[in-house]
Structure 1
Amino acid sequence: MGKRIGYARVSTDDQNLDLQRDALALTGCNAVYEETMSGKSADRPELGHCLKALRSGDTLVVWRLDRLGRSLPDLVGIVSRLEQEGVGFESINERIETTSAAGKLIFHVFAALAEFERNLIRERTRAGLAAARARGRKGGRKPALEEAQVREIKALLKDPQIQVGTVAKRYGVSRTTLYRYVGKTGPR
């Protein structure tokens, strides 16, 4: 039988890891990786160390599901990777574990709900963009320069005494943006 490795996380320094530590100790965790960091942060170094320490046959134990994943899709992704590596997963509060058939079923229902949520968001986004287009709105960023400004800039840059950087500054754009609109005008 493999090791039981715990992962505990709190969002701020004001919060305390004691409750999670105690719960993980009661489940027989051999080691616990602890982190004080927002769950929204993609860079969670202790979680990375924890995941590297897990081997096939081990079980990752968390106090609650929200301690592991930043979102349901993120959680599903992490647990799916664990499953592919032969590592079990257990959440103490929700009483979910993926080492049994029933536990896997419950977790896969969560995964299906996460995919459903992603698809709904995608559909709503498409519908919103289509409605905006129907009202004559164009998506994307407003152009940095108007047609009249581009004509003025081209006329100014015909004078070899005028520097590209000066023109760019005058119109409030970068040299790169200026070149994108008028093309390269030779060395300056």
Structure 2
Amino acid sequence: MKTIGYARVSTRQQANCGNSLEDQEKALKEKGCSEVFKESYTGTKTDRPVFNEMLNTLESGDTLIVTKLDRFARTATEGVNLIRELMAKGIGVNILNMGMVEDSPIGKVTLTVMSAFAEFERDMIVERTQAGKAIAKTKAGFKEGRPKLFTDTQINHALDLLEKYSYTQVAEMTKISKATLTREMRKRKAGLPK
């Protein structure tokens, strides 16, 4: 019987605000985990190779510990299903901010309610982010995405230099990448706006 921990961060922001892998690992080791599986920046992708590797090491009688439900599963349904699968295999699940999830009627109700709150919290964050973005779009001068590194004048000058010099030479002279020069030249030839 072993006690295994799983730690995950899905964004750089999470890594920097109290949910870092180091913080999670410390909490898991304090609870007696002999091994901690760590996964970074998986976002909303379903591919979690470290998580799958960890699941393959668990056996009947083992205990899996995670710091929070949202570190373990992304949605209420996924969380409930994973915990049910683990409990069916005789593997205990301890979610530190909830407690041990037991295979009992009250344990199942607790799990469902807590999973729903975790999903609700995530949905609220997405909703607030979208609302903030919508407000920002109404303001004059808002541009979505990264700011341009070079002005239109700089790009036009570099494109004009291509009449005399190669892409590599112009890239070295202007510090504008060959990829950007190629893309902008295609736009110019196609008559597309800058």
What TM-score range do you get, normalising by the shorter chain? 0.5 to 0.7
**Counterpart selection for 1:172 from 163, 175, 189:** 175
> Over residues 4-44 of structure 1, what are the superposed CA-to-partner deviations in whole Å (9 max), with x where a residue is unaligned?
542158948xx6988634xxxxxxxxxx7423x8x674699
Q: Which runs of 5+ in 1 are unaligned?
A: 22-31
The question of whether the paired residues in 2 share the 8 Å contact of 1:59 and 1:90 is answered with no
Structure 1 residues 153 and 133: CA distance shift in structure 2, 3 A:
same
The question of whether the paired residues in 1 share the 8 Å contact of 2:39 and 2:50 is answered with no
Question: How many Å separate the matches in 1 of 2:132 and 2:177?
Answer: 32
The question of whether the paired residues in 2 share the 8 Å contact of 1:34 and 1:46 is answered with no
Deviation at 1:147, TM superposition (A): 2.2
Which residue matches 2:149?
144
The question of whether the paired residues in 2 share the 8 Å contact of 1:150 and 1:182 is answered with no
Question: How many Å separate the matches in 1 of 2:71 and 2:104?
Answer: 22
> Structure 1-normalised TM-score?
0.64
Question: How many Å separate the matches in 2 of 1:34 and 1:140?
Answer: 40
Question: How many Å separate the matches in 1 of 2:61 and 2:109?
Answer: 17
Question: How many Å separate the matches in 2 of 1:20 and 1:141?
Answer: 42
Identity across aligned pairs (percent)? 25
The question of whether the paired residues in 1 share the 8 Å contact of 2:28 and 2:66 is answered with no
Structure 1 residues 52 and 152: CA distance shift in structure 2, 3 A:
same
SS in 1 for 2:73: helix
SS in 1 for 2:63: strand
Which residue matches 1:116?
120
Which residue matches 1:54?
58
- Total equivalences in the alignment: 159
The question of whether the paired residues in 2 share the 8 Å contact of 1:59 and 1:89 is answered with yes
Question: How many Å separate the matches in 2 of 1:180 and 1:92?
Answer: 50
Structure ranking higher in helix proportion: 2
> Structure 2-normalised TM-score?
0.62
> Over residues 115-135 of structure 1, what are the superposed CA-to-partner deviations in whole Å (9 max), with x where a residue is unaligned?
111111111111111111111
**CA RMSD in angstroms, aligned pairs only:** 3.8
Structure 1 residues 120 and 8: CA distance shift in structure 2, 3 A:
closer
**Alignment of 1:103 onto 2:107:** yes
Amino acid aligned to 1:81: L
Structure 1 residues 143 and 108: CA distance shift in structure 2, 3 A:
same
Q: Which runs of 5+ in 2 are unaligned?
A: 7-20, 43-47, 188-194
